[in-house]
Amino acid sequence: MNRIHIVSNRLPVSINVENDDIELIPSVGGLATGMRSVYKEYNGKWIGWPGLASDDLDDQLTAKIEEKLIEEDCVSVHLSKQEIDLYYDGFSNRTIWPLFHYFAQYIDYTPELWDAFVSVNQKFADKALETIEEGDTIWIHDYQLLLVPEMIKSKKPGVTIGFFLHIPFPSYEVFRILPWRKELIQGMLGADLIGFHTFDYQRHFCSSVRRLMGYEISFNEIHIEDRIILVDSFPMGIDYDKFREAATQSFQKPLQEKSKLHRELEKYFLVSPERKLILSIDRMDYSKGIPNRLRAFSKFLEDYPEWIGKVTLIMLAVPSRGTVEHYINLKREVDELVGTVNGKFGSINYTPVWYFYRSLPFENLIELYSSCDVALVTPVRDGMNLVAKEYVASRTNRTGVIILSEMAGVAKEMGEALIINPNNINEIASAINQALVMPLDEQRERMIFLQDRIKRYDVFKWSSEFVKSLSKVEKIQNSFNAK
């Protein structure tokens, strides 16, 4: 197999510098957690941003960081404070992210953000061009780098390029709002294979290509003069066995080796085995529907008061994009809502919502997944949502219920979950009750199907299907050229 290099905005590890000490922290988010499990197989480099501003680094520190990253097969693209502001916080997260998640009212159309997006995409492309050799394959990821495929293809047409979008691709009627819509499509079309999580996103993309560019598309092949571009859907999976094994080991640990969190969770059930836990885990992002979830939980306690004192919602939110206005406002709203619910239904002995605003180590994530009776996953839009799959994999005793938004890509693969509309507070409230009273036999019946499916199409299968399609498109292109 050819070497495959990965290019993404964020590296799988982010760098934290304190008193000249360099610490590598695993990056959070579906792209990083998923690709981290597979990229070593490809013998290539992972090119990306290590998560800090280059203005704060002197030459010596930069060299030390490079050294650390090379040990992880990573190559860094350094970004200045201004680039972070205009390209990352800016066009990526104030323009594309809201547009692709149907938050049209949040879109920032400032032209300077676009200019920075172009120049930083060029920076990533240049770094990739320095790293790749003839015959290599390159796999570019996500919405921050939509222009990179074309920037590489125009310089090295012989390199095979894959592109995967980890977020939804919106319908044409939404996508067309953007002044730079054609440029984004042109950028993506530099790739030989373009992958999406679901067929719907693929269909939306093809519709934009047809309407904006007028290119011919037959089945899933786009024909542009002498080039053929393959478009397909690949629902991303998780490292199933890793979650499964970690959950199994977590239960077998002797008491003294259990984490503080684990012991606290066990204590919660000691008070009364009838007590239940509901789990929600996300980055603090407005696409995740966190306020709706809290309102629905409040409605549930109001409609089913017999559960007051017996059910706790554990809400874990990882800080994310904290310098972008809409994320700051969201944090404020969530803080207030948590206070309102706890103030309304809590007592000396009962806190309805346990709220953690931080990242937790893998060990704690597993403990939460395996201890909670219900997972409440209610995004208003989500490309996939790997948290739902991680919950399924961690349920070693095959019980547990998922309440899942129909707006998450993962809903297509999880018909056995309780599917809800995230804007329907009453529906979520009654789904919470349904999940809590669901007989164990029914829970197992649903969970067995879910586990079989998530195990079969794990992250390794996902990436190997993508890579197989990349070789296929190479062959199609070669036979087309030979004609």
Catalytic positions, please?
A: 166, 382
Check residue 412 for interaction with ligand ADP (CB under 6 A). Answer: no
CA angle, corner 86, sides to 64 and 76, nearest 5? 25
69 close to 21: Cβ distance less than 8 angstroms = no
Q: Among 11, 69, 386, 403, which residue interacts with ligand ADP (rule: CB under 6 A)?
A: 386
Q: Dig out the tokens for 4 from the structure.
A: 């495959």
Phi, psi of 428 (to 5 degrees): -65, -40
- In sequence order, what are the residues at sequence separation of 6 or more whose Cβ sits closer than 8 angstroms to the Cβ of residue 122? 147, 151
User: At its nearest, how many Å lie between ligand ADP and the CB of residue 154?
Assistant: 30
Rounded to whole angstroms, how far apart are CA atoms 197 and 35? 14
Residue with Cβ nearer ligand ADP (142 or 192)? 142
Check residue 385 for interaction with ligand ADP (CB under 6 A). Answer: yes
Within 283-322, the residues that bind ligand ADP by CB under 6 A are 283, 316, 318
Check residue 192 for interaction with ligand ADP (CB under 6 A). Answer: no
Amino acid (1-letter code) at residue 454: I
The secondary structure element, H or E, covering residue 309 is: none
Check residue 376 for interaction with ligand ADP (CB under 6 A). Answer: no
Rounded to whole angstroms, how far apart are CA atoms 447 and 393? 10
Rounded to whole angstroms, how far apart are CA atoms 361 and 377? 20
Q: Among 84, 174, 353, 384, which residue interacts with ligand ADP (rule: CB under 6 A)?
A: 384
Within 452-471, the residues that bind ligand ADP by CB under 6 A are none
Binding site for ligand G6P (CB under 6 A): 10, 29-32, 142, 166-167, 320-321
The full length of the chain comes to 483
User: At its nearest, how many Å lie between ligand ADP and the CB of residue 443?
Assistant: 22
Check residue 365 for interaction with ligand ADP (CB under 6 A). Answer: yes
451 close to 393: Cβ distance less than 8 angstroms = yes
Which of ligand G6P, ligand ADP, none does residue 321 bind (CB under 5 to 8 Å by kind)? ligand G6P
Q: Among 390, 413, 416, 458, which residue interacts with ligand ADP (rule: CB under 6 A)?
A: 390
Residue with Cβ nearer ligand G6P (167 or 401)? 167
Which of ligand ADP, ligand G6P, none does residue 394 bind (CB under 5 to 8 Å by kind)? none
| Rg of the chain in Å (alpha carbons) | 23
Amino acid (1-letter code) at residue 438: M
Check residue 387 for interaction with ligand ADP (CB under 6 A). Answer: yes
Which of ligand ADP, ligand G6P, none does residue 374 bind (CB under 5 to 8 Å by kind)? none
User: At its nearest, how many Å lie between ligand ADP and the CB of residue 64?
Assistant: 26
Q: Dig out the tokens for 78 from the structure.
A: 């350094």
Check residue 407 for interaction with ligand ADP (CB under 6 A). Answer: no
User: At its nearest, how many Å lie between ligand ADP and the CB of residue 291?
Assistant: 17
Which of 440, 386, 449 shows the shortest CA–CA distance to 417? 449
Which of ligand G6P, ligand ADP, none does residue 10 bind (CB under 5 to 8 Å by kind)? ligand G6P
DSSP single-letter state for residue 176: T
Pure H helices in 3-110 = 30-36, 59-71, 81-83, 97-100
Of the candidate spans 23-31, 168-176, 262-270, 425-433, the one that interacts with ligand ADP by CB under 6 A turns out to be 23-31
Check residue 27 for interaction with ligand ADP (CB under 6 A). Answer: no
User: At its nearest, how many Å lie between ligand G6P and the CB of residue 96?
Assistant: 11
Check residue 352 for interaction with ligand ADP (CB under 6 A). Answer: no
Residue with Cβ nearer ligand G6P (31 or 222)? 31
DSSP for 199-223 reads: HHHHHHHHHHHHHHH--EEETTEEE
Within 248-287, the residues that bind ligand ADP by CB under 6 A are 281, 283
Intra-chain end-to-end CA distance of the chain, in Å: 26
- In sequence order, what are the residues at sequence separation of 6 or more whose Cβ sits closer than 8 angstroms to the Cβ of residue 391? 279, 369, 372, 375, 377, 400, 402
Residue with Cβ nearer ligand ADP (113 or 281)? 281
User: At its nearest, how many Å lie between ligand ADP and the CB of residue 416?
Assistant: 19
Residue with Cβ nearer ligand ADP (296 or 410)? 410
Which of ligand G6P, ligand ADP, none does residue 316 bind (CB under 5 to 8 Å by kind)? ligand ADP
DSSP for 370-437 reads: HH-SEEEE--SSBS--HHHHHHHHT-TTS--EEEEETTBGGGGG-TTSEEE-TT-HHHHHHHHHHHHH
User: At its nearest, how many Å lie between ligand G6P and the CB of residue 243?
Assistant: 18
The residue to which tokens 């390794």 are assigned: 460
Rounded to whole angstroms, how far apart are CA atoms 99 and 88? 15
- Residue numbers at the binding site for ligand ADP (CB under 6 A): 28-30, 33, 281, 283, 316, 318, 359-360, 365, 384-387, 390
